[in-house]
Amino acid sequence: MKRLLARGYPDIFQIGKAFRQEESGRRHNPEFTLIEWYRHGFSLQRMMGEAFEVCRLVAGARSLVSLSYQEAFLKATGLDPFTAPREKLTSHPAIAAQGLTSSDFPETSDVLNFLMSEVVEPSLDPAIFTLVHGFPRMLSSQALVDSENPETSLRFEIFGGGMELGNGYEELLKAEEYRERFETENRKRREAGKPVPRLDDRWFNDVAPALPQCSGVALGFDRLIQLGMRAGSLDAVLEFPWKES
């Protein structure tokens, strides 16, 4: 979609299938449907507002709370994600409770992601929508850095029903910076023994000269339907759950 934007396409969207190699469960299915769109000239604030409206349209009217990543993290863990030493983060009781140690988290980003999913997300009120914005730049490889706070990025996530529903950015524009960030991420993945994706030169060649200022977001359509139907599992909204495929 970014390649199309760089070739002059206007505001653009798609509803399509995505695939991730992960477990199947109440909120996960290896095959799922995404609603993804990009808006020319949209600030992150405008994109957050539009994502909220789409969530309300599909999943039903609910109130909205907006929190910075720092606020949400502090409230749930008692730790400041921007200043807490790595040793303090890895000593959080949620890590020991799952039989893990600091050696299971090669990078600070790994422990932040773990605490976000295991401690912060479950603490959010499932009866409302919550927008979390201002993610650390280390967790935002495709988002612009916030010029007013260089430690953070112009990235947000929206939650509801105890689930992450969507993820959005004000998009990074410089292809050379994309390449630098992707190469850094691949180096970390290689050192951690994770699969390393190949960088696509065609993507860089298209995006480098002409990606316009824009914001984009992807929402999990199946989860939105699950929330709107008040279903206890994704199986209730999928015609062919993975175990039946």
* Pairwise CA distance, residues 28 & 239, whole Å: 14
* Pairwise CA distance, residues 217 & 44, whole Å: 10
* Pairwise CA distance, residues 123 & 119, whole Å: 6
pLDDT at 245: 59
Tokens of 231: 């279903």
Q: For residue 146, is it within any domain?
A: yes
pLDDT at 171: 94
pLDDT at 120: 97
Per-residue pLDDT of the chain (245 residues; tens, 9 = 90+): 999 999 999 999 999 998 887 666 666 778 889 999 999 999 999 999 999 999 999 999 999 999 999 999 999 999 999 999 999 999 999 999 999 999 999 889 999 999 999 999 999 999 999 999 999 999 998 999 999 999 999 999 999 999 999 999 999 988 888 889 899 989 988 988 888 989 988 888 888 778 899 999 999 999 999 999 998 888 888 887 777 75
Tokens of 221: 């359509």
Q: For residue 233, is it within any domain?
A: yes
Our count of domains for the chain comes to 1
CA 167 to chain centre: 4
Q: Are 150 and 181 spatial neighbours (Cβ–Cβ below 8 Å)?
A: no
pLDDT at 25: 61
- Predicted TM-score (pTM) of the model is 0.91
pLDDT at 23: 65
Q: For residue 24, is it within any domain?
A: yes
Q: For residue 185, is it within any domain?
A: no
Work out the burial of residue 88: count CB atoms within 10 Å of its CB; fewer than 13 is exposed, 13-18 middle, 19 or more buried: middle
Q: For residue 143, is it within any domain?
A: yes
Sheet of strand 214-220: strand arrangement: 12-19, 31-40, 214-220, 163-170, 155-160, 129-133, 64-68
Q: Tabulate helix, strand, coil % of the chain (nearest 5).
A: 40, 20, 35
* Pairwise CA distance, residues 19 & 116, whole Å: 22
Q: For residue 187, is it within any domain?
A: no
CATH of the domain at 63: 3.30.930.10
* Pairwise CA distance, residues 223 & 46, whole Å: 23
Find all residues with CB under 8 Å of 118, minimum gap 6, and list them: 94, 98
**Domain coverage including residue 162:** 2-173+211-244
* Pairwise CA distance, residues 45 & 170, whole Å: 9
Q: For residue 206, is it within any domain?
A: no
